[in-house]
Every structure is written in structure tokens, then in C-alpha cells.
A = this chain, B = another copy of it.
Amino acid sequence: MSDLTRFSINQMTVKQLTLPELVAACRDLGVPAVGLWREPVQEYGVDATAKLVRDAGLAVTTLCRGGFLTAVDPEERAAALADNRRAVDEAATLGTDTLVLVSGGLPPGTKDLRAARERIADALTELAPYAEDHGVKLAIEPLHPMFASDRCVVSTLTQALDLAERFPAHQVGVTVDTYHIWWDDTAPEAIARAGAQHRIHTFQLADWITPLPEGVLNGRGQIGDGAIDMREWQGYVEAAGYTGSIEVELFNEELWARDGRELLAETARRWAENVDV
């Protein structure tokens, strides 16, 4: 059997499984860690989820996700900050030290990416110390540029690092996700920079397949099915000093239509075939 010590399954990959089903499947397959999402965790109960994973001996590598910090309207901004504080609280309760942040897109009717990125920095000034007080690190995730207008104005690892570097590394770092950065020939250098500063807070895998579906959100490919050389990217993060979990996070309608337990087994197998452990 493959060595799955560094494997983590992001809950969204197998979202057809309930939390108890996910935990049971992880136990049966020898999967040691999960990345969780706020919505299903809230539905099951944050404390109940914490107990469930703790009793099963599962590590929680990340909580997805905070962020959406680009609002101009003061009330919206205050609501976003309050929601992010709750996300920090939830991460602490779940026993993970990493909260993934997806920045948010352009507010309706605006066209200024630079100003939107600056509002994220402002918000982090309030959030980062709060996270530190709760033992949680924020991991800014650059999303693929195709999400720049409606989901995440932070499109490259360099942009994410430029934001993160305004704060101590134990407060704010980055998420390195192959799906979002594989096309970027400046990303390897940014990974080296992030590693030298101890800011690689999580490393996630998804493969790039085409054609992209309408809306492009749920088109991530199973590991090994697409254009991305996973070992190449693993090489970059490890050369930069990263030794943590390697999490698989897929959003894919076809995969979600399949049996969740079988999909988890396939994902673990594909992971082991495509990374060096």
C-alpha cells in the first residue's frame, strides 16, 4: 500500500460524502488528514465536527475559507470582517492552524483591481493579529486569472506574497495550488521567495483539463488527467523548504456524480502515483 503520510483530502473533492462518511472512509483507506470547508462543517456543527475528526485521529490541514474582503461599502466590509473572525474561531476549534483566504472579486460596477487588492491589505491589518491570537495562520490563495473579476483579484503568487509580506510570516502566508499557478513561469521564483520567508502555509493539487465548463468553477481535473506535472511543482515547494501535507482539492461535477468512497480511493491512488513520497 502507498505511503499516504503526507496526503490530505480536501472535503470539497468528495463533497458527496457526509462528514461521518468522509471520516469513516479516511479511516478505512488510511488517509491521515482532511481539509475542511466552512459550510458543511457549520451544517454538521463546528464542535461536533471537531470531536468527530479528533476521535478518528484525523489531522485537519486547512479550513476553507475566509476572505471576500474587497467590499467598498462599510457595512459589507464590517460584515466580511466579522465573518472572517468567525472563520478563525472555527479553524481554532477544528484544530487546524491554517485558514485559506480567497480574496474576493471586483465589487459590482468597479474596475480597479489595484484598489481592491489594497482593501484586502487593509482588512488583513485587522484580521491577522486576531488570527495569531487564536493560533491560526492566514493563507492567501491566488486564484487563476480567469477568476479575477468575480472571485479573486489576487491572481498570481507574486501578488499574494506582496500582500503577505506586509505582515509577519506566522500571521499571513500563501496557498500554493497547482491549478491556479501552473501556467505562470514566474511562480517557481515566487515559491522560492515564499519558502525562504516560511510563508508556504499549504500546498494543494488539482490538474488542469479542458474544455472548461460553463462558469469555469467546477472543471478541475483528477490528479494525472491533465496538463500539470505535479512532481515539478512538488519539487519547487520542497526545494523551498516545504515539508507539510499535500492536499488534493478538486471541484468537478463529473467526479461529484460518482461514488464518494470510490472517488476518495482513486484520488489517494492518483496522488501516490503523481508525487514523490
Contact = CB atoms under 8 A, between A and B. Distances in A.
A184 interface: yes
Interface string A126-165: 0000000000000000001110111000011011000000
A172 B128 CA distance: 47
A33 interface: no
Contacts of A112: 229
A226 B149 CA distance: 9
A216 B185 contact: no
A110 to B, nearest CB: 8
A2 interface: no
A147 B229 CA distance: 17
A208 interface: yes
A214 interface: yes
A226 B183 CA distance: 24
Contacts of A277: none
Nearest to A210: B150
A211 B218 CA distance: 12
Interface of A: 106, 111-114, 144-146, 148-150, 155-156, 158-159, 182-186, 208, 210-216, 226-229, 232
Query: 9 closest A-B pairs (Cβ-Cβ)?
Result: A148-B183, A149-B227, A146-B146, A145-B183, A214-B214, A211-B215, A111-B229, A150-B210, A155-B183
29 contacts: A106-B227, A111-B228, A111-B232, A113-B183, A114-B185, A144-B145, A144-B146, A145-B146, A145-B183, A145-B184, A146-B146, A146-B212, A148-B183, A148-B208, A149-B210, A149-B227, A155-B183, A156-B184, A156-B185, A158-B186, A159-B185, A210-B215, A211-B214, A211-B215, A211-B216, A212-B215, A213-B214, A214-B214, A216-B216
